[in-house]
């Protein structure tokens, strides 16, 4: 592969440690800014509702290019935009494995759960070139550190044998994000991601190695992916792939993602735009009514396919006592509304818009 040096992008004010900027024909339209990071581990504030203490993000920006991606606004800190630049200008922290190995070797390292994939995807396409994840997994496992990975990338498959080895020493959680089970819609709204079928095949490969894989149906898109038929198709496919449980959540639209998503909706589904504008007029989150309606619709299906995780599966003990899941955003483990409750709820057309 030819890997050409290129001029750094003019606006990279927030990037420190820049080594070089590169492009390659195999990654048409992409620019990678290789940087030396000073640290690899990011501490999550104790007050956070997140069920993990630490994160690692070896990449900033994401070629998976999901229109709804909540991380888009973080590109603005680099003086890049949260639209095309987020998809095409990726910061690569090329020394992450080495820096991490030094951090976890310190005697004071707490060995709490480290989450990967919480901001941008560690198995986006660039990982095929940079191969940062094997060193990260090895460093964590060798120093007794549990890890969790959330991805849309089928490149995960490359590292499954390594993860299986790591799982002999430390807890390893694998989650695959698969929100859309309509190929046309999936390619339109997540244009840089592997297909739904390819991701399901990756779930199957992980399950066959003995992992209890979680599938995130997230975000559920009002009026686009929340029909009973779509959700039933999703859960049947997830079950068939050998996953152990499902986590779901309705779309939320933070600034940065919001404008990008609305522009996409205006192009692809203009008839829905006024309704979405109303829904997200005062909050980044879907309305309580919608979330209640969605829970009533999906939870009986999750139960029917036996894909409900227990709370012991959901959260590591070290964090569980102090922090629960972020209520309202995800659908982990709420009580199952009965079909009668669902039918008593307002029609989604009315509740939603």
**Residues at the contact surface with ligand SF4, assessed by CB under 6 A:** 62, 64-66, 69, 71, 120-121, 152
3-state class (DSSP) for residue 341 = helix
User: Residue 176 and residue 217: Cα distance in Å, rounded?
Assistant: 9
Q: Which is nearer to ligand SF4, 127 or 297 (CB)?
A: 127
Residue 178: beta bridge partners? Answer: none
- Closest distance between ligand SF4 and the C-beta of residue 239, in Å? 23
- Closest distance between ligand SF4 and the C-beta of residue 177, in Å? 7
Nearest Cα neighbor of 102 from 134, 135, 139 is: 139
- Cα angle: 317, vertex 321, 323; to 5 degrees: 105
- Closest distance between ligand SF4 and the C-beta of residue 66, in Å? 3
Q: Which is nearer to ligand SF4, 121 or 314 (CB)?
A: 121
Within 8 A by CB and 6+ apart from 267, the residues are none
- Closest distance between ligand SF4 and the C-beta of residue 60, in Å? 10
- Closest distance between ligand SF4 and the C-beta of residue 105, in Å? 29
User: Residue 57 and residue 133: Cα distance in Å, rounded?
Assistant: 10
Q: Which is nearer to ligand SF4, 90 or 104 (CB)?
A: 90
User: Residue 104 and residue 63: Cα distance in Å, rounded?
Assistant: 29
Q: Which is nearer to ligand SF4, 69 or 200 (CB)?
A: 69
- Closest distance between ligand SF4 and the C-beta of residue 297, in Å? 23
β-pairing, 114-116 vs 147-151, is parallel
- Closest distance between ligand SF4 and the C-beta of residue 7, in Å? 25
Give yes or no for a contact between 233 and 241, defined as CB atoms under 8 angstroms apart: no
Which alpha helices (H) appear in 241-344, and where do they start and end?
257-268, 273-279, 288-304, 311-314, 317-320, 339-344
Which two three-digit tokens encode residue 315?
């959260």
Nearest Cα neighbor of 294 from 230, 237, 236 is: 230
Q: Which is nearer to ligand SF4, 299 or 330 (CB)?
A: 330
User: Residue 307 and residue 253: Cα distance in Å, rounded?
Assistant: 27
Give yes or no for a contact between 64 and 193, defined as CB atoms under 8 angstroms apart: yes
Give yes or no for a contact between 35 and 57, defined as CB atoms under 8 angstroms apart: no
- Closest distance between ligand SF4 and the C-beta of residue 346, in Å? 30
Q: Which is nearer to ligand SF4, 65 or 94 (CB)?
A: 65
Residue 32 CB-density burial (10 A; 0-12 exposed, 13-18 middle, 19+ buried): buried
Q: Which is nearer to ligand SF4, 66 or 132 (CB)?
A: 66
Q: Which is nearer to ligand SF4, 27 or 305 (CB)?
A: 27
What is the enclosing helix (H) or strand (E) of 104? Answer: helix 96-104
- Closest distance between ligand SF4 and the C-beta of residue 218, in Å? 9
Q: Which is nearer to ligand SF4, 100 or 218 (CB)?
A: 218
């Amino acid at each position: 592969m030819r890997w050409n040096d290129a001029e750094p992008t003019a606006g990279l004010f927030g990037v420190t440690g820049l080594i070089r900027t590169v492009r390659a024909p195999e990654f048409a339209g992409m620019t990678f800014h290789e940087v030396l990071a000073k640290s690899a581990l990011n501490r999550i504030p104790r007050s956070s509702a997140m069920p993990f203490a630490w994160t690692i993000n070896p990449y900033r920006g994401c070629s998976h290019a999901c229109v709804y991606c909540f991380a888009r606004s973080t590109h603005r800190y680099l003086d890049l935009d949260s639209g095309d630049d987020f998809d095409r200008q990726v910061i690569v922290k090329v020394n992450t494995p080495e820096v991490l190995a030094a951090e976890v070797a310190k005697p004071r390292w707490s060995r709490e759960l480290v989450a990967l994939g919480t901001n941008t995807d560690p198995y986006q396409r660039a990982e095929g070139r940079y191969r940062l994840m094997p060193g990260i997994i090895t460093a964590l496992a060798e120093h007794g550190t549990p890890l969790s990975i959330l991805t849309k990338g089928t490149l995960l498959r490359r590292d499954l044998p390594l993860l299986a080895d790591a799982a002999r020493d430390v807890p390893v959680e694998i989650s695959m994000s698969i929100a859309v089970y309509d190929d046309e819609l999936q390619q339109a709204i997540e244009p840089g991601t592997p297909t739904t079928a390819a991701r399901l095949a990756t779930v199957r490969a992980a399950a066959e190695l003995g992992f209890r894989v979680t599938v995130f149906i997230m975000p559920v898109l009002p009026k686009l992916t929340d029909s009973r038929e779509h959700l039933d198709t999703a859960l049947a496919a997830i079950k068939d792939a050998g996953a152990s449980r499902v986590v779901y959540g309705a779309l939320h639209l933070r600034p940065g993602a919001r404008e990008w998503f609305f522009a996409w909706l205006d192009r692809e589904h203009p008839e829905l735009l006024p309704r979405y504008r109303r829904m997200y007029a005062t909050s980044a989150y879907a309305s309580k009514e919608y979330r209640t309606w969605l829970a009533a619709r999906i939870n009986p299906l999750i139960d029917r396919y036996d894909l409900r995780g227990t709370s012991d599966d959901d959260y590591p003990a070290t964090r569980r006592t102090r922090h629960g899941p972020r209520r309202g955003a995800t659908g982990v483990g709420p009580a199952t509304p009965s079909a009668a409750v669902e039918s008593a709820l307002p029609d989604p057309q009315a509740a939603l818009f």
